[in-house]
């Protein structure tokens, strides 16, 4: 006896729809989950590796900045060279402490320990050279000085090798990320044919067993038994299409985010390389300029040329510093302090500049704001930046008003509000949000990173920084910080 298994139309449609939804939603969910993990992987590379290379380059720059000080001292016995050498040595020791947390493999850790040990020996040899020179024993100091120079040159090479090790680690992590991206693309490619086959099966079932009866009904047949099932199936198909569109949209967004993250990692690597290539020559040029300025008799025109060159070098160094500061992960050091104290500190710091330009700074408050958990140094940097921008916008005498108040704002709740208005020309409405974009600037010598860094600091406090038009037509920046700021998960509390 043969058993005949029969499946109803509803069950066949439900089966195909279920498989299609499972493949589409399940595949999309897996891709999103895997893509989020990959995005976090690339973000970790960007934050950790760029910070490590930045610290290593500052370590090398600090060592390179020590070149020549002992030689200059042996020529004229000017104690200023020893003072500068001592400052740079202290800076080098701080950079070793700063770079150590980013070293996460035995090879790099061994290289850093070697650099530290050699630097201690170099410091001891320099001290012996200075002692012999002070005793007038130049014939004994000369060979020891030559040995110290050889050790210094070897240390420079060791720092370069240490930096190359960090670059290799970054390249290795980048290769792993690209492999993961290729895996995602391969799985997505495998899902598409299966989804297409299920869609064709569904189209065949609908065409033969659903659209045919509907067409016959439209031609005048009176059997309407399946009308309710058709309506239910229509609803389910619409739902499936909507979910498929949403899944595709999410997949496209995930792919775009992955590509953007890879570009960020590449930009981070390029930024580190550019900073490394520029900073060392800048340091050497600054030292040579300083030495020449002290040793040469310059005319007035030559002195002006020296000042212009020094100003441009300082501007280049500022661009590099702002770029690295924007790329470096921000860490807050929180203290319970009144924002009014930060405002007063910024006003005191800028007092001489305000007076020299003829700008009047007014602070309007009913009373000091209540103490809250903030990083006073970071917020002072924000206020100094805003006041400096206002002064540059006014191009001369003017008036800046800082207003402090407390209020309530959703979703932050109770907030401290500090607004800063100037009498400058203001910012056009279409440009007000663009000023917070990195590298967007209207200044001839601007870097375009001041306001993005300021907004980033305020957001790390859980607040907001906005730009509107002041009553007199100038610019008005409003800084809002919640009293209950729960955002600083990685901040240091003091």
Tokens of 195: 């989804």
Q: Strand pairing of 333-337 and 492-493?
A: parallel
Amino acid 224: pLDDT? 42
Q: What is the rounded distance in angstroms from the CA atom of residue 265 to the CA atom of residue 170?
A: 9
User: 100 with 319: CB under 8 angstroms?
Assistant: no
Q: 6 vs 417, which has greater pLDDT?
A: 417
Share of the chain above pLDDT 90, in %: 13
Q: Write out pLDDT tens, residues 160-181.
A: 888 888 778 777 777 777 777 7
Determine the Cα angle at 94 with ends 90 and 95, to 5°: 115
**Displacement of CA 199 from its chain's centroid (Å):** 44
Amino acid 228: pLDDT? 46
Domain spanning 333-493, CATH architecture: 2-Layer Sandwich (3.30)
User: 361 with 354: CB under 8 angstroms?
Assistant: yes
Confidence of residue 129 (pLDDT cuts 50, 70, 90): confident
Q: CB-hemisphere CA count at 13 Å for 38?
A: 27
Q: Say if residue 1's pLDDT is above 50.
A: no
Q: 130 vs 196, which has greater pLDDT?
A: 130
The total of other beta-carbon atoms located within 10 Å of residue 47's CB is 15
User: 441 with 448: CB under 8 angstroms?
Assistant: yes
Longest Cα–Cα distance of the chain, Å, equals 122
Q: 491 vs 273, which has greater pLDDT?
A: 273
Confidence of residue 91 (pLDDT cuts 50, 70, 90): confident
Residue 64 DSSP SS3: helix
Question: What is the residue whose two structure tokens read 């040579």?
Answer: 288
Confidence of residue 363 (pLDDT cuts 50, 70, 90): very high
pTM of the model: 0.41
User: 38 with 231: CB under 8 angstroms?
Assistant: no
Q: Write out pLDDT tens, residues 236-260.
A: 656 777 787 787 777 777 777 666 5
Confidence of residue 222 (pLDDT cuts 50, 70, 90): very low
Q: Write out pLDDT tens, residues 24-50.
A: 777 677 766 766 766 666 666 656 666
Q: Strand pairing of 464-469 and 475-482?
A: antiparallel
Q: Say if residue 2's pLDDT is above 50.
A: no
Q: Write out pLDDT tens, residues 324-334.
A: 555 555 677 88
Q: What is the rounded distance in angstroms from the CA atom of residue 155 to the CA atom of residue 147?
A: 12
**Whole-angstrom distance between the N-terminal and C-terminal Cα of the chain?**
85
Q: Single out the residue of 353, 486, 329, 352 nearest to residue 414, CA to CA.
A: 486
Confidence of residue 342 (pLDDT cuts 50, 70, 90): very high
What are the DSSP calls for 300-329, one per residue? HHHHHHHHHHHHHHHHHHHHHHHHHHHHSP
Peptide bond into 411 cis (omega under 30): yes
Kindly state the average pLDDT of the residues 394-415: 89
Tokens of 60: 């090398």
Amino acid 345: pLDDT? 92
What are the DSSP calls for 212-263, one per residue? HHHHHHHTT----TTHHHHHHHHHHHHHHHHHHHHHHHHHHHHHHHHHHHHH
Please classify residue 238 by burial: count the beta carbons closer than 10 Å to its beta carbon, then call 0-12 exposed, 13-18 middle and 19+ buried: exposed
Q: Say if residue 119's pLDDT is above 70.
A: yes
Tokens of 105: 């493999």
Q: Say if residue 385's pLDDT is above 80.
A: yes
User: 184 with 38: CB under 8 angstroms?
Assistant: yes
Q: 398 vs 9, which has greater pLDDT?
A: 398
Q: Single out the residue of 278, 350, 273 nearest to residue 318, CA to CA.
A: 278
Beta bridge partners of 465: 479
Q: 94 vs 216, which has greater pLDDT?
A: 94
Domain residue limits, the chain: 9-217+225-293, 333-493
Q: CB-hemisphere CA count at 13 Å for 252?
A: 6
Question: What is the residue whose two structure tokens read 């299920």?
Answer: 198
Amino acid 215: pLDDT? 58
Amino acid 101: pLDDT? 77
Q: Single out the residue of 351, 345, 350 nearest to residue 374, CA to CA.
A: 345
Amino acid 31: pLDDT? 67
Amino acid 339: pLDDT? 93
């Amino acid at each position: 006896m043969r058993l005949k298994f029969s499946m109803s139309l509803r069950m066949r449609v439900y089966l195909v729809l279920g498989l299609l939804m499972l493949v589409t939603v399940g595949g999309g969910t897996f891709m999103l989950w895997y893509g989020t993990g990959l995005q976090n992987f690339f973000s970790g590379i960007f934050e950790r590796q760029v910070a490590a290379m930045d610290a290593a380059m500052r370590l090398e720059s600090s060592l390179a900045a020590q070149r020549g000080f002992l030689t200059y001292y042996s020529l004229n016995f000017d104690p200023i060279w020893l003072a500068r050498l001592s400052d740079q040595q202290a800076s080098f020791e701080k950079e070793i402490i700063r770079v150590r947390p980013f070293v996460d493999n035995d090879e790099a850790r061994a290289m850093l320990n070697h650099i530290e040990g050699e630097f201690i020996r170099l410091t001891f040899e320099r001290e012996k050279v200075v002692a012999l020179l002070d005793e007038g024993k130049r014939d004994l100091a000369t060979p020891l000085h030559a040995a110290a120079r050889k050790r210094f040159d070897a240390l420079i090479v060791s720092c370069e090798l240490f930096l190359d090790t960090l670059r290799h680690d970054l390249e290795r992590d980048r290769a792993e990320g690209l492999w993961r991206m290729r895996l995602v693309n391969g799985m997505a490619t495998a899902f598409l044919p299966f989804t297409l086959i299920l869609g064709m099966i569904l189209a065949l079932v609908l065409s033969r067993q659903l659209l045919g009866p509907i067409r016959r009904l439209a031609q005048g047949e009176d059997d309407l038994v399946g009308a309710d099932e058709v309506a239910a199936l229509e609803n389910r198909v619409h739902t499936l299409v909507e979910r498929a569109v949403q899944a595709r949209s999410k997949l496209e967004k995930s792919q775009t985010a992955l590509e953007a993250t890879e570009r960020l990692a590449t930009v981070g690597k390029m930024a580190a390389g550019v900073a490394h290539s520029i900073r060392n020559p800048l340091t050497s040029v600054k030292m040579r300029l300083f030495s020449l300025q002290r040793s040469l008799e310059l005319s007035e025109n030559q002195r002006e040329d020296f000042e212009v060159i020094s100003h441009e070098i300082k501007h280049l160094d500022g661009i590099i510093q702002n770029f690295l500061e924007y790329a470096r992960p921000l860490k807050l050091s929180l203290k319970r302090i009144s924002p009014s104290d930060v405002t007063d500190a910024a006003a005191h710091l800028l007092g001489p500049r305000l007076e020299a330009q003829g700008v009047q700074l007014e602070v309007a408050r009913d009373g000091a704001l209540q103490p809250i958990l903030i990083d006073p140094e970071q917020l002072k940097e924000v206020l100094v930046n805003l006041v400096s921008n206002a002064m540059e916008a006014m191009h001369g005498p003017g008036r800046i008003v800082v207003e402090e108040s407390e209020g309530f704002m959703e979703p932050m709740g109770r907030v401290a509000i500090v607004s800063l208005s100037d009498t400058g020309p203001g910012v056009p409405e279409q440009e007000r949000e663009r000023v917070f974009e990195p590298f967007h600037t209207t200044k001839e010598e601007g870097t375009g990173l001041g306001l993005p860094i300021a907004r980033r600091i305020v957001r790390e406090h859980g607040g907001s920084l906005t730009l509107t038009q002041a009553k007199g037509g100038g610019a008005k920046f409003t800084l809002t910080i919640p009293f209950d700021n729960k955002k600083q998960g990685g901040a240091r509390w003091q």
